[in-house]
Amino acid sequence: MDLFDVSGKTAVVTGGTRGIGLMIARGLLQAGVRVYISSRKADACAAAERDLAGHGTITAIPADLSREDECLRLAEEVRQREQSLNVLVNNAGATWGAPIGEYPAAGWDKVVDLNLKAPFFLTQAFLPLLEAAGTPDDPARVINIGSIDGLRVPPFQTYAYSASKAGLHHLTRVLARELGPRRITVNAVAPGPFESKMMAATLASFGDEIAGSAPLKRIGRPDDMAGVAIYLASRAGAYVTGAVIPVDGGIGTTV
């Protein structure tokens, strides 16, 4: 059955060198997608490209996506290699935690620039390639990686992070209405706890407690994130747009 077949498609995964982005990039590669990954650090890009090369066709392009000009450059680098783009995964993100009386403006700027502004400007920059790929029966896909902290009040003092992710969820709905007539779907995934550099300290201190709070009694695994990305990128997800899908073992919706 080819309902979940994504072989032959092309995808860009930002923040694809580690954590959730790496999980998605690896899953798409294993499913037969030609994947471009991006990260701010050139050495991280090179290492991830080597790590993923055994799974399929992978190209890593370093870019600082907190800057609009770098979003445009990344899109141009892909355009020089591809005539169309089936899937854009806006995953690159940052967090910042500090008590309310000490929370700095620099923290807000860093987090909002990467978590909220970059997905918009990347989608804007990749629009021509996405439009070239989309058809009525198989639209191009934009997948924004939000967070359950954008669905609920988070337990930690990460004010800019939770606000930016809630903003990204709503931006997803706005773009879904705008881009649907152009044969592009826009959806968001709201992950719960997964093993990543961003979550490493939290899981080291509270991992058992967090897993115990989930109805499914565990944290996320790589296949959980790869699975939802493949679903949204495949024909199975062709009629889904403007959705925010929690992938969190039930934490954000039942706890």
Give the active site residue among 159, 161, 231, 239. Answer: 161
CA geometry: angle at 28 spanning 5 and 26, to 5°?
Answer: 150
Query: Would you say 55 and 7 are in contact if contact means Cβ atoms under 8 Å apart?
Result: no
What CA dihedral angle connects 108, 172, 186 and 211, to 10 degrees?
Answer: 70
Q: Which helix (H) or strand (E) holds 10?
A: strand 10-14
Per the annotation, the verdict on 36 as an active-site residue is no
Give DSSP secondary structure letters for 206-219.
HHHHHHHHSTT-S-
Cα–Cα distance for residue pair 25/226, rounded to 1 Å: 8
Cα–Cα distance for residue pair 103/108, rounded to 1 Å: 8
Query: Would you say 193 and 210 are in contact if contact means Cβ atoms under 8 Å apart?
Result: yes
Strands 87-90 and 140-145: what pairing? parallel
Catalytic residues: 161
